[in-house]
Structure 1
Amino acid sequence: MLRIVLFSTLSCACSLVMAQPAESSTTQNGLVAVYQEALNNNSDLAAERAGLAAQREAIPQARAGLLPQLSLGAQVNDTHMSLGLKQNDTLGIAEGRYKSDRSSQMIQANLSQPLFRADRWFQLQAAKAGTEQAEYQFSAAQQNLILQTAEGYFSALRAQDALATARAEEAALFRQLDQTRERFKVGLTDETDVLQAQASYDTAKANSSLASRNVQDAFQGLVRLTNREYNALEGIRHDLPILPPMPNDAKAWVDRAVAQNLQLLASNSAVDTAQETLRQRKAGHLPTVDAVARYQRGDNDAFNLPNPGVDIFDSPVSQRSVGVQINVPLYTGGLTSSQIREAYQRLDQSEQQRESMRREVVQNTRNYHRAINTDVEQIAARKQNIASSQRALEATQIAYQVGTRSIVDVLDIQRQLYNAVREYNNARYDYILDNLRLKQSAGILSPNDLLELSRYLKPDYDPDRDFLPPDLAKPISMTQRPSLRP
């Protein structure tokens, strides 16, 4: 079943990565390598694994109540008795004290076998359903780790690209400020233009500082996930295929999610557990039947035979008994009835939680499907917007040089250009993560998805150089900018 094979799929997929260096990136800073570190070191997953192992013990514990119970016991007693006697001539008793010292030994074995224990049978079924629920939850935790790894990884890349964009904008505005100062010196512009250029540059410089902190925060998130420090990551190439979800039918994805979403499957098992628990509580009104057997072996005194202290019987003495024991619960102070009422409410609670989960899964699946289609459109539109803004900036700068446009126009177009760059990169990362979230919602997310993404990673990725496609990056590349002055 899905919950059982998922973990082995994770391990096999990671092994395949190491066996295919030519097809995908497998360096220590790659996506799959980060996932492997998370798989080995993530404390949340380790806690889920321990919880699953603990829950699995509920099955043998419940089954034990249906199996034979055998016990062996022994007892050793020493008895000292001292009696004061009065003289009785009729009975021929002389005055004095009577003393008696006795010892007894016995061993016994008790065997019982439940013949009819409905409550214990339903307890076993509840344990099986609870274990199934735990297995689904562990598989869901594994999928969640895949998504968390991708979110952490691409959040760091997003932050790096945002920093590269902010630094490129800062450099462009510094260059614009420098040009405006030169124009002011020769009387081609007034001080207002210089102040506006200075204000825009100061804002860009502050934005760069904030973007730098965001990069550090994003990399720190990977430390929490993997317990390892990273200084650089492989970046995603710009030739990553940008395609609608397949199939591009929201209903098909919803149907798959309702059938395979791991959290929803866990909710189904929770309902099964509650149903079996209710049956167990109801069985508390039923009689119980056990087969019992006992074997005892000891000396005369252990069995309280006549003439204590005098061995008139052959020793040791043994006794065997076999029977059937029936217990009918008549009244337990209302405990069983209260437990049944509680079980009904627990069942209703689990059913309501399952319905809430189903609605959430349906909503998320539709939202992610819609988001991917929007991301595809956004990427194309933002890329075109960058090209258009570049041409508009070139034209506006020329117009400013000849005096037909103001510095405000130039600064506005520059702001639009770099906003378009940021939105383009955000749309790319949103597209990647929305695809993974859709697969998680449908219950089909696996390490193979990370393996596929790793084929489009660039080991020598430099955010300052690669934050845009080559055909768009050249006019605003960091390699084209002068050094920033303090």
Structure 2
Amino acid sequence: MQTLGPGAVRQRRAAAHKLAITALLAASALAGTTARADTLNQALAKAYETNPTLNAARANQMATDENYAIQRAAGLPTAQINSTFNENVLIPGGQFVVIPRTLQTQVQVQVPIYQGGLVKFNMKAADARIAAGAETLRATEASVFSQVVAAYNDVLRDSQIVEFNRANVKTLETNLRGTQDRFEVGDLTRTDVAQSEARLAQAQADLRNAEANLIASKERYIQQVGEPPADLSPPPPLPGLPASVDEAVEIAIKENPDIAAATKNSEAAGLDLKAARASRLPTLSAFGNLNRNDNFGGARANIPINIPSTQESGVIGGQMTLPLYQGGRPAAQIRQAQARKTAAMENQIATERQVIQQVRAAFASYKASLDVIRSAEAAIAANSLSLEGVRAENGVGNRTIIEVLNAEQELINAKVILATARRNAYVAGFTLLAAIGSAEARDLNLEGVKLYDSKDNYRRVKGDFLDWSGRDTPMIRSTRTVTTPAQSASEVVGPQ
């Protein structure tokens, strides 16, 4: 299995949990057989490849990977050639030797031998920050997936609510016509007609609001996935959720990528402190110079002497630098690094607190939504029976029109509550999976995508010592949505 993040941490994840997610999201990919049906698995796979937030995070991680090579370069030899060409256009008289033109060339090589540990600690700090960046990339991936899941379920919920409201408007239009007919024959009063008209107007307003919400949800889906939603299939059940909030917190402390990133950043800050202390230590380096002067055989002398056309010289040596006083700069850098290490340790605690809050809140929201689902299902069953009875009793004059209208409204309210609770339960459950580090591409078995491993790029650039190597021209991998037509509520998507 490929890994993203510390291998030891990833290996502790329960195999049964991963297999359960794989099986159920694979089932999601197979669900829906219409010509253009979308599953949650397909939406996640599309976002994994084309979401700009995720692709930008990958590019930023590539940039972070280069810090290791940048810091390592300070401990490697350097070589350069300096050439100077001189043409004497005005030669004063009275000189014994006249050299019209010269070419001076110097080859310099510097070899750092010891720099007080500065390079070593900077390289280790860069390595720690690269590991932190990889964990941050994991967190970004889980965050993008959470937004896709929310957008997917928002479209499903709002599609259902639009259908509920459309059906309600049709029912109330029929009720109004029946009320008006009964008013014409004197069976009902003008008040009954007014009540029916008012309830229909309110239902029409609710429908417009529901349609606007559906359009907004579709646009959020496009923002995350890159294409409009088609006929969305129901999402698969969420497996592997912790049985208790304490278990969820325990897993999150070990597996959450934000906590892992904060830990690595704290480690890097400690190495920065060691690097700052190294600035007070002596340094040792070796050098070599090769010089060549060429007058192109054009030297002239007023006395009989032999002037060679070329002169060469070379020197090798070593240099030790022992800092005695640097204006207080090293002490200031050490104090600065100490403060940043303190801040990094505090940030560890802050991140841990935030994750614990997220886990507990998501767990509570998930459990509460499940309770709401059960209550709403019971309410729908009871309201359906109640509405049937109220309509029958109204037909024989035992119930008023307003009672029928109220019963109809209570039923649609219960349906809206159920649709909302189902959405909230799923989103909260997936948020919980993300918080415990179980909502990444390798956990979800995305269909038709190649998993991205940030370590591949790091391994490639870590061993690159050449000045002229580079990568491909920068390119955009995400899809634009400017050509996507504005969404409407004329068509709802998903099961009704």
2:76 partner letter: L
- Residues 72 and 107, structure 1, Cα contact 8 Å, conserved in 2: yes
Instruction: Give the drift of 1:64.
Output: 0.7
Matched letter for residue 115 of structure 1: I
Match of residue 287, structure 2, among 275, 286, 292: 292
SS in 1 for 2:231: coil
Calculate the TM-score normalised by the size of structure 2: 0.78
Cα contact 1:82–1:99 (8 A) shared by 2:
no
Most deviating of 104-113 and 200-209? 104-113
Distance 1:320 1:464 in 2: 80
Give the total of aligned pairs.
Answer: 434
Rounded to whole Å, the distance in 2 between the matches of 1:309 and 1:229 is: 92
1:164 deviates by 0.7
Q: Which sits farther off after the overlay, 119-128 or 357-366?
A: 119-128
Q: In the TM superposition, what whole-angstrom CA distance separates every residue of 1:319-373 from its partner, at most 9, and x where no partner exists?
A: 3333221112233333333222222222222222221111010111112122222
Matching of residues 382-461 of structure 1 within 5 Å: 382-447=376-441
- Show the counterpart of 2:54: 45
AA aligned opposite 2:411: L
| Aligned 8 A contact 1:286 1:328 in 2 | yes
Q: Deviations over 1:261-283 (max 9, x none)?
A: 11121111221222222222221
Give the distance between the partners of 2:416 and 2:338, measured in 1 at CA: 54
| Bigger radius of gyration | 1
Give the C-alpha shift of residue 178 in structure 1.
2.3
Q: Which runs of 5+ in 1 are unaligned?
A: 7-14, 86-96, 302-306, 454-461, 468-486
SS of corresponding position for 1:145:
helix
- Whether the 8 Å contact between 1:83 and 1:99 is mirrored in structure 2 is no
Q: Look up the match of 1:113.
A: 111
RMSD of aligned alpha carbons: 3.5
Q: Displacement, 1:19?
A: 9.4
Query: Residues of 1 paired with 2:214 and 2:383: CA distance?
Result: 26
Q: Partner letter of residue 2 of structure 1?
A: L
Name 1:132's counterpart in structure 2: 131
Counterpart of 2:194 in structure 1 is 195
Indicate conservation of the 8 Å contact 2:71/2:126, yes or no: yes
Counterparts of 1:19-418 in structure 2 under 5 Å? 23-25=30-32, 29-78=38-87, 100-101=98-99, 103-117=101-115, 118-230=117-229, 232-236=230-234, 246-298=241-293, 312=306, 316-418=310-412
Q: Is the 8 A contact 1:17 1:451 kept in 2?
A: no
- Structure 1 residues 25 and 61: alpha-carbon distance in aligned structure 2, compared to 1, 3 A threshold: farther
Change over 3 Å in CA distance of 1:272–1:19 after alignment to 2 = closer
Moved more, 36-45 or 438-447: 36-45
Contact 1:267 1:354 in 2 (8 A): yes
Mean CA deviation greater in 284-293 or 329-338: 329-338
Distance 1:464 1:175, change over 3 A: farther
Q: Which is bigger in relative contact order (C-alpha 8 A, separation at least 6)? A: 2
On the 8 A contact 2:238/2:430 being kept in 1, the answer is no
**Aligned equivalents of 2:351, 2:46: Cα separation in 1:** 31
2-structure distance, mates of 1:81, 1:43: 64
Aligned amino acid, residue 356 of structure 1: A
Alpha carbons 2:131, 2:261 under 8 Å: kept: yes
Q: TM-score, structure 1 length as denominator?
A: 0.79
CA drift of 1:107 comes to: 3.1
Verify the 8 A CA contact 2:41 2:446 in the aligned structure 1.
no
Q: Distance in 2 between matches of 1:465 and 1:274?
A: 50
Change (3 A) 1:83 1:221: closer
**Identity, % of aligned positions:** 24
Change in Cα spacing, 1:448 to 1:327, as seen in structure 2 (3 Å) is closer
1:2 is aligned, of 1, 4, 15, to 4
Query: Residues 29 and 311 from structure 1, CA distance in 2 versus in 1: closer, same or farther, beyond 3 angstroms?
Result: farther
Q: CA deviation at 1:32?
A: 2.6
**Cα separation, partners in 2 of 1:21 and 1:394, compared to 1, 3 Å:** closer
